[in-house]
Amino acid sequence: MATILKHAVPKSEVAASLDQVRETVTGVIADIRARGDEAVRAYSEKFDKWSPDSFRLTDEEVEKIVASVPQQVIDDIRFVQEQVRTFARHQLDSLREFEVETLPGVRLGQKHIPVQAAGAYIPGGRYPLTASAHMTIVTAKVAGVPRVVACTPPIHGEIPAATVAAMHLAGADEIWLLGGVQAVAAMSVGTDTMRPVNLIAGPGNAYVAEAKRQLFGEVGIDLFAGPTEILVLADEQADPFVCAVDLLSQAEHGPDSPAVLITTSRELAEKTIAEVERLLPGMPTRDFAEPAWRDHGQVHVVDTHDELYTLADAFAFEHVEVLTAEPRLALERMTQYGALFLGEGTCVSFGDKVIGTNHVLPTRGAARYTGGLWVGKYLKTVTYQEVTDTDSQALLGRLCGRAARVELFEGHARSGDLRAAKAAGDELPWNTP
């Protein structure tokens, strides 16, 4: 039985906010469909105070921007991208193409084809999220995507040089200084100056997530990646200071970012709450972290580790940090999460920024049915078939005829009959003059 020491705001309030987001996004997408580049420019000016002659950076502009970035930053970007690239290559190696002969002369195969154009959305606004460039662009290039369009917004009317450098070093084929719904819509439906892509990937705020939701089907998406979530699982041996620091590390993403603690120790829960309240006033990002903790923070106390993992799975959160005596038990006990971070030495921020696994992860319960962005999201797994043996053609043709007629599909049946007739001389009673 769980005891809740801290509640979040009612879900009805969150739903009302999402309704407003949905209405705004619907209008923006409709306008961009109708007016194209003109609408894109208007929304960029409205939301980002940004309206250059061209939103796409030229090669010369990119080179100049990259040259302005300190060498240490460039070195760090290269190092982290190599971690992401290495992990993505291992993922690619785990995917197998094959061809198998299931009957004489019957060959069935599977192959992986990269999408031909992907859009990478790299959030900006307040923070220059260079890491999202690594996650979306590097992974796409490992998958073999030939055209990657990367969009990021300006920050207070300025070019985010480090983000541009990360996009360039990751291998982006086109770099656009464009953000928000207007970027996602332009990449999805296309304009006079931007050719549309086949798939959109990358995290973003509630408006970006809603734009991806509304455009899904017309364009593929990686997943619905809304406000960042962190769930910390802890027992009596955990350090409340560590719990508090790590909860706030994700709360600073935005005022709607849930930060939740589930613990078997009431003492740890109370100490963690006290530590959060002590640390918050001094945080440079307090304006985001404080409302996130106030409105979306939760603390639950449970009696047993069984309850701990059961409740954790019910949350199905994006990030789950396991600060228990035996953290690897979570690998056996949990089934619904975006990514696990096992033990005190492994913080969620490692996954966000440097360790190499992808940080584009499912939120708002989507971990119930999907994992995060990975190299396979950029690949289409397709099949092919070939029948060259006449005995097998006859066998399958007769079987197809019988199976199709059970379902009242006469056209299908005749297609099978015809193969049996050509391979083995079967009669076609329906083929009368």
Annotated catalytic sites, by residue? 318-319
Reading the block at residue 187, the tokens are: 């990449």
Single-letter code of the amino acid located at 190: G
Dihedral-angle region of residue 202 (phi above 0 means left; psi in -120 to 50 means alpha; beta otherwise): left
Kindly provide the residue ranges of all beta strands, DSSP E only, lying in 1-133, ordered along the sequence.
3-6, 98-103, 106-114, 117-121
Give the single-character DSSP code of 407.
T
Of 314, 315, 306, the closest CA to residue 333 belongs to 306
Kind and range of the H or E run holding 211: helix 206-215
- Asked whether the beta carbons of 132 and 359 are under 8 A apart, the reply is yes
Reading the block at residue 173, the tokens are: 């084929």
- Asked whether the beta carbons of 271 and 5 are under 8 A apart, the reply is no
Buried b (16+ CB within 10 A) or exposed e, 199-227: bbbbbbbbbbbbbbebbeeebbbbbbbbb
Calculate the dihedral angle through the C-alpha atoms of 413, 419, 423, 424, rounding to the nearest 10 degrees: 20
Reading the block at residue 154, the tokens are: 């300006």
Residues near 121 by beta carbon (within 8 Å), at least 6 away in sequence = 132, 136, 151, 152, 183, 184, 187, 200, 201, 202, 203, 204, 208
Which residue is it, tokens 């709360």?
251
Distances in Å between the Cα of 394 and the Cα atoms of 99, 191, 404, 407, 417 are 22, 51, 15, 20, 8
Overall residue count recorded for the chain in this entry: 433
C-alpha span between 282 and 289 (Å, rounded): 11
Of 273, 240, 246, 211, the closest CA to residue 352 belongs to 246
Reading the block at residue 114, the tokens are: 């990269």
Distances in Å between the Cα of 256 and the Cα atoms of 4, 253, 362 are 20, 8, 15
C-alpha span between 103 and 108 (Å, rounded): 10
